[in-house]
Amino acid sequence: ASIPFELYDDDSRAKKFEARLRNISAGGLSVNTKTELPDRESFLCCFSIEEGEKYSLKAVKLRSFAVGDHYHTALRFAMISSADYNRINSYARVIDFLKKTRIFEEFSDDDLRLVVRAGKKIFVREGQMVFSENIEGRNFYIVLSGKIKISRSSPHQGAVGEKYLATIHSGEFFGEMALLRKVKRSAAAQALADSVLFQIERDQLERILLEHKGISPEALQDFYFGVHRASG
């Protein structure tokens, strides 16, 4: 998987199972294994979904079934703090959100986990500028909630006014040219309401994509084609 994940028999970590993470939510996770996991009281799941955040959570086996030459197993977290629950739930929601975003629609869950590691959620208040016109673009944004106004300056009779271009709503994205090349912003972005954005920094995304060769070339090609099409 694209995030560090290890599965042990218990707190002693005496036995480690060969397991690949499939999906994760605040309630638990699902894994692929070559052999069926034994029925036992609990397992220890160790993983990291963001830089610097490590989790070691006990989980119980819910169900398991064979698929081809491996097994799919669902595990439910036995104990989880409210802080860990909220962080993991937030992470899972971003993954689900990216799946519904047009330029990421061809990405697998593993691919999306790489994208999430390249970004972060930010909060902007109503009236706050996300970025200004004529500055170099370094970040790309997806609106998780709220709405963002896109506008550019418009000189008129010696004065500089504002020309409205668009309103970006939840599930939509903006600033995508920053992922294609280093250019100055041709417009400004301002929050029309308190908003939560997922911000992806260009250099960080490129570094992660170069370091992890597992992302499919087809998905990457479709992504950049989608960005280019959206920006055109």
pLDDT classification of 168: cutoffs 50, 70, 90 = very high
Spell out the residues 6+ positions from residue 116 whose beta carbon is closer than 8 angstroms to its own. 49, 50, 91, 94, 95, 98
- Specify whether 128 is located in the same domain as 80: no
Per-residue pLDDT of 138-152, as tens digits, reads 888 989 889 999 999
> Is the residue at 94 inside a domain?
no
Q: In the sheet where 195-201 sits, what is the strand order? A: 119-124, 195-201, 139-145, 173-174
Per-residue pLDDT of 71-119, as tens digits, reads 999 999 998 999 888 888 888 888 888 887 776 777 777 778 777 877 8
Q: What is the mean pLDDT of residues 122-142?
A: 92
Which pair of structure tokens corresponds to residue 120?
Answer: 């972060």
**Cα within 13 Å of Cα(130), Cβ side:** 36
Rounded to whole angstroms, the Cα distance separating 169 from 192 reads 10
Please count the structural domains in the chain: 2
Q: What is the pTM of this model?
A: 0.68
pLDDT reading at 220 higher than 70: no
- Specify whether 52 is located in the same domain as 123: no
Q: One-letter amino acid identity for 150? A: I
- Specify whether 115 is located in the same domain as 75: no
Residue range(s) defining the domain that contains residue 116: 100-231
pLDDT-above-70 percentage for the chain: 82
- Specify whether 112 is located in the same domain as 218: yes
Report the CATH number at residue 34: 2.40.10.220
> Is the residue at 95 inside a domain?
no
- Specify whether 129 is located in the same domain as 52: no
CB atoms within 10 A of CB 169: 13
- Specify whether 128 is located in the same domain as 213: yes
Q: What is the mean pLDDT of residues 54-75?
A: 91
